[in-house]
Amino acid sequence: MSLTDRRGSFVTDGIARPTLLLVHGAWHGAWCWEKLTAVLHTDGWRVRAIDLPSAGGRAGMQDDAQAVLAELELIDGPAVVVAHSYGGIPVTQAVAKAGNVSRIIYLASFQLDVGDSLLGFYGAPVPPQPDEFEAVPDNPVALFYGDVPLPEAEAAVQRLLPQSTRSFSDALTEAGWHTVPSTYIICEDDQALPANSQQAMAERSGAVHRIESSHSPFLSKPTELAALLSKIALDTDA
């Protein structure tokens, strides 16, 4: 049985659950969460996923953060935000202003601090033409979907979009993880964001978990990932 209590929490079988907001990474869209969302719904979760305007558009990171914040404002009750890859940057910015986020879950994600940007993380200069696009990387199957069945990986590649260059150069002005609890999930076989880089950022989180997967466990291991997200979202110390 599912219902909503007076605080807006989603209650399933007597357990009050926050809403899960899923935020994708660069070049992707809300579509990438479809397999995971189906498992989470079966497990009794209320889930929302958004499309960031920087994927396929000229929006910057701050625009993405505003989109995340606007989605959070539509959620009645507490929310746990799951941020993947680049999505961790606008989520970090947005959560600083949101009042209903109980936890951030960084999934192979950029957990950066004030003044940081994605390009800055790699020591790359600000591009002279920030209004351009970053093309989909070469060999995206190996980079993003190494343990995803090949037909499914190739279908995912067809849905990738050019990414706004500005989103990679915009720097954080606030960092929500300083005041909101955070958990990091390291993807150990990640070819896009190596595990050692994830580990360095994960030290900023209150708890760290690991999953043996490529950069995209929501496609390769949705059941395992759903179980881990459920554990974290319901455990105040996870």
Question: What beta strand segments (E) does 108-179 contain?
Answer: 133-134, 163-164
List, in order, residues 6 or more apart from 197 with CB less than 8 Å away.
Answer: none
Quick check: 23 and 84 in contact, CB under 8 A?
yes
pLDDT per residue over 63-114, tens digit each?
A: 999 999 999 999 999 999 999 999 999 999 999 999 999 999 999 999 999 9
Residue carrying the six token digits 């799951």: 82
Question: What beta strand segments (E) does 89-236 contain?
Answer: 101-107, 133-134, 163-164, 182-187, 207-211
Q: How much is the pTM?
A: 0.93
Amino acid of residue 149: P
pLDDT per residue over 131-184, tens digit each?
A: 799 999 999 999 999 999 999 999 999 999 999 999 999 999 999 999 999 999
Structural domains in the chain, CATH included, are 2-234 (3.40.50.1820)
